[in-house]
Amino acid sequence: MESLNNMLFLTLNAQTDSPAWVTGLALLLGEHAIWLVPGTLVLGWMRGKPPLRRLMLEASIAGLAGLLLNQLIGLTWSHPRPFVLGLGHTLISHVPDSSFPSDHLTLWWSVAFSFLLNEGTRRLGMLAGLIGIPMAWARIYLGVHFPLDMLGALCVSSSAAWLTHNKAGALITTALDMLMTIHRRLLGPLIRKGWLEP
């Protein structure tokens, strides 16, 4: 399995003669696109009504749960990153922590799966899930992850989203009530002007 993982990595990783536009695309997908996650969640909260805010909160909790699961996995079984092993080409700097599973894709796919599990955000979840595939390629291309790290992220994120959706209803309700109160107190002037939903 390890030899297959290494072989697939070397196939997908950047080469010395890789076109500049491919590297640019990989940087966009693998480094910057992740900011769409907090941007979408914050925008959905600020502009949405309470039902949508609940979905944004659920997706946020799913993302955090996925990242927590990753930390537990890393403590149990640490796998070196490609550049630690001297494999391939590394195009971005990264701390030499455990590569498995990918935190990047775990966060992205946890939110995507959470959206998929809710009817109001299902199409957005499907789109986000599909975008995650080239993002996974980009992280491998840039030299900071193996293909199996992405498979691990897929498993962790789907589990985190399912558990949050099916087992954390009471937590979400309590957190939503608290956050709605804070939202109305802090942003009251903007709400009264009609710029934000109450």
Q: Rounded distance, CA 128 to CA 41, Å?
A: 13
* Span 2-192 CATH architecture: Up-down Bundle (1.20)
Residue listed under structure tokens 């903007």: 190
Across all residues in the chain, what is the average pLDDT? Answer: 96
Q: Rounded distance, CA 172 to CA 177, Å?
A: 9
Model confidence band, residue 102 (pLDDT cutoffs 50, 70, 90): very high
Domain residue limits, the chain:
2-192
- pTM metric for this prediction: 0.94
Q: Give the pLDDT confidence of 2-12 residue by residue, as tens digits.
A: 899 999 999 99
Residue listed under structure tokens 């966060």: 107
Model confidence band, residue 197 (pLDDT cutoffs 50, 70, 90): confident
Question: Residue 124 gets which letter from DSSP?
Answer: H
Q: Give the pLDDT confidence of 72-87 residue by residue, as tens digits.
A: 999 999 999 999 999 9
